Structure 1
Amino acid sequence: MSAAQVPGAEGKRTYRFIIYKIDEKKKMVVVEKVGEPVLNYDDFAASLPANECRYAIFDYDFVTEENCQKSKIFFIAWSPDTSRVRSKMIYASSKDRFKRELDGIQVELQATDPTEVGLDVIRGRAN
């Protein structure tokens, strides 16, 4: 498996988000979509397919109560209830190995529906 650069790693903001999918024929994780730094959470959420599993990296910018600008890198295991059972099993069994290949992950989320990866959840986990 190969991983693209995590957004924000090494001080370079390359992407706001990266969506990965497992190519079942090649048996490897591939980049499906990248979001430019100017995009926001809504663009990211709209990129997650409603009925298919994905891995995602999201670079979340926020301001602390002390008025400091911060950023957290989220790893999201997206596994909707409506996705195929086989797909859910493949993604679940590959997640830890794939995540080890990524540098800079600060928060991990597992989500089965959009409410579990909503902006309020991201915001709450970032602090």
Structure 2
Amino acid sequence: MSSGIPVNDICKVKFDGLQRLHLYRYVIFKINDSNSEIVVDHRYKTKKATSDASETAAVTEGDTPENTTNLECETKAQEEIFSDFVSHFPENECRYAVFDVEYQKGEVTTNKIVFIAYAPDTAKIKPKMLYSSTKDALAKVLNGIHENMQINDPDDLNLEYIQEKLLRV
């Protein structure tokens, strides 16, 4: 059953920035404090720029140091980026996220966009129910997700666990 909470248009814009333009490595979403819409909470911006500067500017509009981590160098390891990603998940609160995960399948390195619904066991029941009933609304807006994951244990919010699950797909 859907909660009826809508998805803010900026969520789709930032997801397109991750999926199509490769401007972000991850985007974290949350339900706002008034429980009236799903909004962007945080994102990790790469140094990539598209050939269309106006398109890049439109996608990155609103990015501030408070809500955006900027890639300092092109060679930052995925493990470091994932560590930054995990640091933006509050201990006892639910979140949604998309992460462009790079992993090794045989001799080939590939990327998949993973949708994560994070509801830690320590979160209060009401928010967990709200996030659970709102998840599909966000997932429908984010076209191009390769894998959906429900994570309830903070220990499972790690890169190796996610890469391992991708190998089984």
Q: TM-score, normalised by structure 2?
A: 0.68
For residue 105 of structure 1, what is the aligned residue in structure 2?
A: 145
Instruction: Give, as a single letter, the amino acid of the residue that structure 2 aligns with 1:99.
Output: A
Unaligned runs of 5+ in 1: none
Quick check: 1:22 aligned with 2:31? yes
- CA deviations 1:74-107 (Å, max 9, x no partner) are 1000101111111001000000111100011101
Letter matched to residue 9 of structure 1: Q
- Larger CA Rg, structure 1 vs 2: 2
1:41-60 equivalences under 5 Å are 41-60=82-101
Moved more, 111-120 or 74-83: 111-120
Asked whether the equivalents of residues 18 and 26 of structure 2 are also in contact (C-alpha less than 8 Å), the reply is: no
Structure having the higher helix fraction is 2
Q: 1:1-127 alignment to 2 at 5 Å?
A: 1-2=7-8, 3-4=11-12, 5-6=14-15, 8-10=18-20, 12-25=21-34, 27-37=36-46, 38=71, 40-66=81-107, 68-127=108-167
The structural deviation recorded for 1:112 is 1.2
Deviation of 1:69 after TM superposition, in Å, equals 2.6
Q: Distance between the aligned counterparts of 1:114 and 1:26, measured in 2?
A: 24
Distance of 1:120 and 1:26 partners within structure 2: 33
Identity rate of aligned residues, in percent?
33
What amino acid is the match of 1:55?
Answer: Y
For structure 2, which runs of at least 5 residues remain unmatched after alignment? 1-6, 47-70, 72-79
Deviation at 1:24, TM superposition (A): 4.3
Q: CA RMSD in A?
A: 1.7
- For 2:129 and 2:135, the matched residues in 1 are separated by 10
Structure 1 consecutive aligned stretches of length 4 or more whose deviation exceeds 3 Å:
none
Q: Give me the TM-score of the superposition, normalised by structure 1.
A: 0.88
More strand by share: 1
